[in-house]
Structure 1
């Protein structure tokens, strides 16, 4: 099994919010199925959040470039965007670089807010969906499980998350810069997901008096309202209540804007132009960018949060260095597992061939000695198979050790397959005429072995 790991993605470092919005995948399950059907890949998984889209796959009988091109073309066509825009804003990794990148993402070392815990949950959700759809198999299964354990190790062994902040916390910090003290203000959360829950927690901790939670699923809004002490409403009733609030934080999964500038203009009249503060932490964006053109409104999208985020980064650099050392070590460990996959078919072929020879020789012997009862036959089979496997023990250990060395796997696997003729190659009669003076029939080999033993004696 020698399948190349390929990763292609874009994030807040490589693409602005317009591009991320354009190429966001709102239905990853459908996308994964289509990717598997239209591209030369064996398995795949997609992660799509407000700050990144990552597509990881393993190649199936195709070159690295062919796989990358097919993924980009399918991604662009699905999002009705241009291939050129996608190529310009994406990064591409293969094999161990792809492995290291996924570990880095899982550990929140590549997040806008280093150390935030949300990305690990999002990665787990994305993996669960891929498993349910059947697009995650041997390599992606192992890679994602390993990434979860690497993230756990980083959080245990470093203080990367000790003062971690989330996008939601950064949003609240920005609100404080606009309003100063938040005591007595009222807020509305549009969307009742994890981001909204975190935002609600931070708002309450900073003195917000009341919270209205608007969500498409009223039961989820009620659930969040119970735990936070807020008021749940159906998202369809949101426009009727907007005039009551000072702060609006939106984080739905809607593919279109849920707050239009026209509606906000009416709300401002009801509020007698009292200022309103909007933070849009959704991708695609929930709030019409034209809202920012209205008087007494302050609209910030997810890219605007970078300034708040950067203020909290300096103290994490030392811990990040420790975390990256863990990622590097775990990547090397994963490499050993990948190498073991390369050698696996050769081990199976070697054992199968030896067992076949052992059983064939046993059959010849049984013909000579005559009939034996079933119990004796079974015992003899166990004996010859056991001897066969024990004879392979040292060669297999040698192979496993050597394939873990840098750049050695392919050479030693090829050597073993040729030495034991596992691919049943036929040597042409005129091959190696300058070296081959005798035949290699079984009886010739027997004579060679006997002669060698006699020389030693």
Structure 2
């Protein structure tokens, strides 16, 4: 029995590659079923966020577990295995367990110590559990990872200045505009990232927030929470004409705002600049928008500079959490040893080979 984690993240893979490996939320149940039925895979969980796509598996053998997990990713995203290999990170056994603990606690996030990933790991695990893709090992491991992360955040001061990617987007806007008072803010998308962005904008003085989403009821719900206005998706171009700031975070596969759309919008804006932040993966905004004189376009990778400014204050607290992770790694290995799983599987394999 071996625990393997395979994936890519913002540290080593640019957004234009990451967006090609992003699982749609609606696809995850099918993906989990397909991976669970793959040769050598005994348990599995998939974590897919704007900054990382990672697959965690329990496999009967290391080499086959590695190979078939990578083959699953290549098949799912319709790419050649040789083309994706250079981007994939692989963690095995103790390193995989430690990596999961670090990711869940926010120590591997773009913004050190952020808590959004904790909810994403928990949701990913619960979905895998619901799809019967987990078993004894992952049921214990992921519950322990979530419990450890909650304890790390409550027992240290790593969250004294709570931040996230959405917070970084708002901070970037403040550097350009000074404040958001009397600025017209347009949020495209009504998911968790959009909600966090709206929360930070509202807290920083924005009193004119418009929300657009393909499902209008969700836009209305989010807008009402922050005293904003919801508009139907077919009014996107009109909303862009009025906006000073756009923050986009949808789950769309294609660009939501294209260069041709923006060209039409800019004619009506009469030279007024617009600040656009794309925090979606895959990207919502056509990169060609940056070529327009009055458009100031930033994507999720551009936020890294703001992220860096927060690291120094959090690194000391992160060291404390690293010590907690070391102890939990030992605890998990001791629990694992009590199961007798390793000798049992070894015996079954020997028996199978002898038939």
TM-score by length of 1: 0.73
Decide which of 102, 105, 126 is 1:104's aligned counterpart: 102
- The C-alpha deviation readout for 1:57-89, integer Å capped at 9, x for no partner, is 1113xx312221111122012112232342211
1:29 deviates by 1.8
Q: 1:344 to 1:227 in 2, by over 3 A?
A: same
CA distance in 1, matches of 2:287, 2:247: 14
CA distance in 1, matches of 2:82, 2:341: 39
1:14 deviates by 1.5
Q: 1:208 to 1:86 in 2, by over 3 A?
A: same
Aligned twin of 1:341: 339
Aligned twin of 2:191: 193
Alignment of 1:198-277 (within 5 A): 198-277=196-275
1:218 deviates by 1.6
SS of the aligned residue for 2:126 comes to: helix
Conserved in 2, the CA contact under 8 Å of 1:114 and 1:164? no
1:37 deviates by 2.3
Conserved in 2, the CA contact under 8 Å of 1:211 and 1:230? yes
Q: 1:345 to 1:90 in 2, by over 3 A?
A: closer
Alignment of 1:21-36 (within 5 A): 21-26=19-24, 27-36=27-36
CA distance in 1, matches of 2:314, 2:108: 12
Conserved in 1, the CA contact under 8 Å of 2:207 and 2:228? no
Decide which of 280, 283, 292 is 2:281's aligned counterpart: 283
How many residues of Structure 1 are paired with residues of Structure 2 in the alignment?
345
Aligned twin of 1:141: 139
Runs of 5+ unmatched residues, structure 2: none
Conserved in 1, the CA contact under 8 Å of 2:279 and 2:300? yes
Aligned twin of 2:291: 293
Moved more, 69-78 or 245-254: 69-78
Aligned twin of 2:53: 53
Q: 1:49 to 1:344 in 2, by over 3 A?
A: closer
Matched, 1:329 2:327: yes
SS of the aligned residue for 2:340 comes to: helix
Matched, 1:43 2:43: yes
CA distance in 1, matches of 2:316, 2:119: 24
Conserved in 2, the CA contact under 8 Å of 1:28 and 1:47? no
1:108 deviates by 0.4
Aligned twin of 2:316: 318
SS of the aligned residue for 1:50 comes to: coil
CA distance in 2, matches of 1:128, 1:240: 40
Alignment of 1:408-447 (within 5 A): none
1:246 deviates by 0.7
- The C-alpha deviation readout for 1:338-361, integer Å capped at 9, x for no partner, is 111126988xxxxxxxxxxxxxxx
- The C-alpha deviation readout for 1:275-294, integer Å capped at 9, x for no partner, is 01110001000111111111
1:165 deviates by 0.7
1:247 deviates by 0.6
Conserved in 2, the CA contact under 8 Å of 1:45 and 1:56? yes
TM-score by length of 2: 0.93
CA distance in 2, matches of 1:314, 1:143: 30
Conserved in 2, the CA contact under 8 Å of 1:22 and 1:81? no
- The C-alpha deviation readout for 1:374-417, integer Å capped at 9, x for no partner, is xxxxxxxxxxxxxxxxxxxxxxxxxxxxxxxxxxxx9xxx9xxx
Aligned twin of 1:169: 167
1:182 deviates by 2.4
Aligned twin of 1:18: 16
Aligned twin of 1:66: 64
SS of the aligned residue for 2:310 comes to: coil
CA distance in 1, matches of 2:5, 2:202: 40
Q: 1:315 to 1:88 in 2, by over 3 A?
A: same
Report which structure shows greater RCO (CA 8 Å, sep ≥6): 2
Matched, 1:128 2:126: yes
SS of the aligned residue for 2:114 comes to: coil
Conserved in 2, the CA contact under 8 Å of 1:213 and 1:221? yes
Q: 1:143 to 1:206 in 2, by over 3 A?
A: same
CA distance in 2, matches of 1:149, 1:337: 16
Conserved in 2, the CA contact under 8 Å of 1:182 and 1:206? yes
Conserved in 1, the CA contact under 8 Å of 2:207 and 2:227? no
Q: 1:40 to 1:300 in 2, by over 3 A?
A: same
Conserved in 1, the CA contact under 8 Å of 2:5 and 2:57? yes
Conserved in 2, the CA contact under 8 Å of 1:109 and 1:320? yes
